[in-house]
Amino acid sequence: MAIIPFLLAFCAAAMLLTITPGLDTAMVLRSAVAGGPRQAILTAIGIAGGCLAWGTAVAFGLGVVLTASTLAYTIVKWAGAAYLLWLGAKLLLHPRDVADDAVPTVVAVGDGEALRRGFLTNLLNPKIGVFYVTFLPQFVPAGYDVALFSFALACIHVVLGTAWFALLIAVTAPLNRQLRKPKVVRTLDRMTGGIFVAFGVKLALSAR
């Protein structure tokens, strides 16, 4: 059976989901404005790594555990919610006055932090695992290995997401000087912190 129609349908659906504003988009935009293109790229790489980790888990059947086990889902859900609330509270209570790369001694730490936040935010969100388990198999043609094809689809999703983030970073770059003013940085940190808290609460209260 030809797989092109399945791939085209998946790309259309995945791209629509990718460009819908959400937590990942907020993280990349915040990193682009407050930390510059380098940190935004690292944040996007971290997000991609988290998606690939879930894609691998689904391929090996671990994602099914989240669907079947209430305990496993609850543990990951609360860990993710706590992490988002911690990030959000930190940004709300202690917003910065300067961008990260304005202080040379902070650059290395900031880069690692950007990568880690992007990765953990996705890794600790069980909804991504459940999404892959329930969404990807719908686009697997009959006769193909479900696990391997699902992983391939997850990789396509990561590529689409990375391309979208690259576009966001490129659009933000020309405005970087204006957006990196102390007042703007503080406002952006608080806004991002509020988004993180909102997503954390939403995740904590969400049903399966």
| Residue 106 clears pLDDT 60, i.e. is over it | no
Q: pLDDT tens, 147-163?
A: 788 888 989 999 999 99
Average confidence score pLDDT of the chain:
77
User: Sign of dihedral through CA atoms 90, 95, 101, 102?
Assistant: negative
Predicted structure pTM score: 0.67
pLDDT at site 44: 93
* CA–CA dist 116, 31 (Å, integer): 12
pLDDT at site 62: 62
Tell me which of 80 and 197 has the higher pLDDT: 197
| Residue 28 clears pLDDT 70, i.e. is over it | yes
Cα-Cα-Cα-Cα dihedral of 17, 20, 22, 27, to 10°? 100
* CA–CA dist 26, 23 (Å, integer): 5
| Residue 178 clears pLDDT 70, i.e. is over it | no
Tell me which of 45 and 95 has the higher pLDDT: 45
| Residue type at position 101 | D
pLDDT at site 24: 84
